[in-house]
Amino acid sequence: MRGEWHTRDVRGLLDALARGEVTPAGLVEHFLERIAEHDPALNCFVTRTADEARTRASRPLAGALAGIPLAHKDIFCTAGVRTTCASRMLSDFVPPYDATVVRRLDEAGAIVLGKTNMDEFAMGSSNETSVFGPVRNPWDLERVPGGSSGGSAAAVAAGLVPAASGTDTGGSVRQPAAFCGLSGLKPTYGRLSRYGMIAFASSLDQAGFLARTAEDLARLLVVTAGADARDATSSPEAVVDYPAALEAPIRGRTIGVVKEFRDAGLDPRVARLVDEALAVLERSGARLVDVSLPRLGLAVPIYYILAPAECSANLARYDGVRYGHRARDVASLEELYARSRGEGFGPEVKRRIMIGTYVLSHGYYDAYYLKAERARALLQKDFLRVLAEVDLLAGPTTPTVAFRIGEKNDDPLTMYLNDIYTNAVNLAGLPALSIPMGFVDGLPAGLQLIGAPFAEAPLLSVAHRYQQATEWHRARPPRFA
Ligand code: GLN
């Protein structure tokens, strides 16, 4: 009999394992079969680690996630397993070490089935910049799954794995979670170690997770969070028992409804779903308070100065000398650099490097980079001011539901505007999550909740309470049922 294990969440699989209804090896085979059957239509996986997974499942496993199959975004270094960042530049890079997030999940007993497709170097909102081609949205194969963690999101939504890692520099966990009908968490900057996570914009990058429920996110977070001697920006802040904190009462919590989240770009049908979700939270005992973030409109321009600036510095290391793509038949060192980079990077990455180099160059540094840093500090102040008055902020994750593949490709600015509700959160370093809140024309939409620094526990608990009161997170794309 074919199991229905792919319809369960992590919690459900842990229960089944504990009761002896299935073994880790049984789960590995089931999910590998799902991947073999469905991935050709979706393009979620760039590398499968079936042999490694089978070997691991045949050995005794211990830990809070023992026997749970997972996938990692191909931006996390995995020892002995190719890690590409979906770039030609790293197409044959095999790291000699594991990222801390990968190692901690291994120590918790999880089993990795493969590495997932993404936008090249995590730059994008649609998964179309990957050198391996676009990922398709399981709810509608003509649409994008969101980016840049689109392979992870589509894999979880289609039941190819019960949960997966992602990274979020400006929305890349929350936006694909919203587009694919999943729960996605971006923790506070520094909550998870960035060691072994290939850098895009170091002051914004944070690892996160995609799963079906807030409860599953709590289980993934509790085993990965915490200080790491290998990342000086990882925080020493004590790790809370997130799963235990889920049942905290929602009564008495105040939720700030951000006025500026209702700007002209918001699809009215998504706005209506936000209102309905807020009404659910209110009925569950939360108090809604109107708040304002007057400088929110600056977030996209600030982000698209700072993220390219940091990326141009981080990506300078790909010079064709130490590792990464190396051009052949070159006559000089100069030509080696130029051709290796010219051949190794795709158009979006090149655009970012050029913008970044420009805003950092002499004469423009003060006008663009420094000004953006100052504006970022003001934006962060605005957030902290309202978060001193309310427990959480709520609004949409994205202005629209998933768009069509190719629809925004010719116009980077329209693509960048898709991040309007998410990238401010990275600029302020705050934790946030997206949870399913309903559908527009059969496509899922996400509710975003934002917390004060290190307030992951209340964030997850309010999301969990919402999921106890609603069924949206249980919906599955019919084609992959
Ligand atoms: N879409 C944003 C960008 O293209 C965010 C990407 C991300 O979070 N990695 O930069």
- Nearest CA to 410 out of 348, 364, 362 is that of 348
Residues 6+ apart with CB under 8 A from 342: 327
Same-domain check for residues 305 and 277: no
> Cβ(169) to ligand 1 under 6 A?
yes
The residues, any chain, with a CB within 8 Å of residue 24's CB and separated by 6 or more, are 17, 56, 57, 61, 66, 67, 111
**Do 161 and 263 share a domain, yes or no?**
yes
- Chain CA centroid to CA 134, Å: 17
Å from CA of 202 to ligand 1 middle: 13
Distance CA 425, CA 171 (A): 8
Side-chain half-sphere exposure of 13, counting CA atoms within 13 A: 35
170: Cβ below 6 Å to ligand 1? yes
CA 227 to ligand 1 center in whole angstroms: 25
Atom of ligand 1 lying closest to residue 204 CA: 8
413 by Cβ neighbours in 10 Å (0-12 / 13-18 / 19+) ranks as: exposed
Does ligand 1 come within 6 angstroms of the Cβ of 151?
no
What is the tens place of the pLDDT at every residue in 185-223? 999 999 999 999 999 999 999 999 999 999 999 999 999
Selected catalytic residue, list 126, 130, 165, 172: 172
Structural domain boundaries enclosing 95: 2-294+381-480
**316, 350, 373 — which closes off a domain?**
373
Q: What is the pLDDT of residue 1?
A: 40
Q: Give the domain-ending residue among 346, 373, 400.
A: 373
Q: Give how many domains the chain has, as a whole number.
A: 2
Q: Is the CB of 467 under 6 A from ligand 1?
A: no
Pairing of strands 432-440, 207-211: unpaired
Task: State which H helix or E strand residue 464 sits in.
Answer: helix 456-469
Query: Domain check: are 34 and 95 in the same one?
Result: yes
Output phi, psi for 114, to 5 deg.
165, -175
Whether the model clears a pTM of 0.85, i.e. scores above it, the answer is yes
Pair 133, 223 in one domain? yes
Q: How far is the CA of 322 from the centre of ligand 1 (A)?
A: 27
Residue 165: φ, ψ to 5°: -85, 160
- Asked if 73 is an active-site residue, the reply is yes
Q: Indicate whether 450 and 351 sit together in one domain.
A: no
Please indicate whether residue 148 is annotated as part of the active site: yes
Q: List, in sequence order, every beta strand (DSSP E) within 228-322.
A: 254-258, 287-291
* 312 flagged as catalytic: no
d(CA 132, CA 371): 37
Catalytic residue among 87, 125, 130, 148: 148
Q: Let me know whether 443 and 325 are in one domain.
A: no
From 287, 190, 205, select the one nearest 237 (Cα to Cα).
190
Dig out the tokens for 311 from the structure.
Answer: 């990326």
For residues 219 and 74, state if they share a domain.
yes
Shared domain for 355 and 247, answered yes or no, is no
Q: DSSP labels for 137-176?
A: BTTBTTB---SSSHHHHHHHHTTSSSEEEEE-SSSTTHHH
User: DSSP character for 78?
Assistant: B
Residues in the chain predicted with pLDDT less than 50, given as ranges, are 1
pLDDT of residue 414: 82
**Residue 281 sits in the same domain as residue 307:** no
105 with 153, same domain?
yes
pLDDT value at position 349?
Answer: 98
Model pLDDT, residue 324:
94
Classify 212 in phi/psi space as left (phi over 0), alpha (psi -120 to 50) or beta: alpha
Is the Cβ–Cβ distance between 102 and 131 less than 8 Å?
Answer: no
Query: Is residue 168 lining ligand 1, measured as CB closer than 6 Å?
Result: yes
Distance CA 130, CA 134 (A): 6
Residue 307 beta carbon below 6 angstroms from any ligand 1 atom: yes
Q: Which of 450, 403, 464 is nearest to 422 (CA)?
A: 450
CA distances from 85 to 92, 119, 324 (A): 11, 8, 11
Buried b (16+ CB within 10 A) or exposed e, 137-151: bbbbeebbbbbbbbb
Task: For residue 396, list its beta bridge partners.
Answer: 447
Q: Residue whose CA is closest, atom 4 of ligand 1?
A: 124
Calculate Rg over the CA atoms of the chain: 21
Q: How far apart are the first and last CA of the chain?
A: 16
Name the nearest CA neighbour of 399 among 418, 422, 425.
Answer: 418
Give the Å distance between the CA of 351 and the centre of ligand 1. 14
pLDDT score, position 418: 86
One domain for residues 281 and 397: yes
Overall size of the chain counted in residues: 481
CATH number at residue 88: 3.90.1300.10
Same domain, 244 and 327: no
Tell me the β-bridge partners of 393: 256, 450
Domain end point (choices 347, 373, 399)? 373
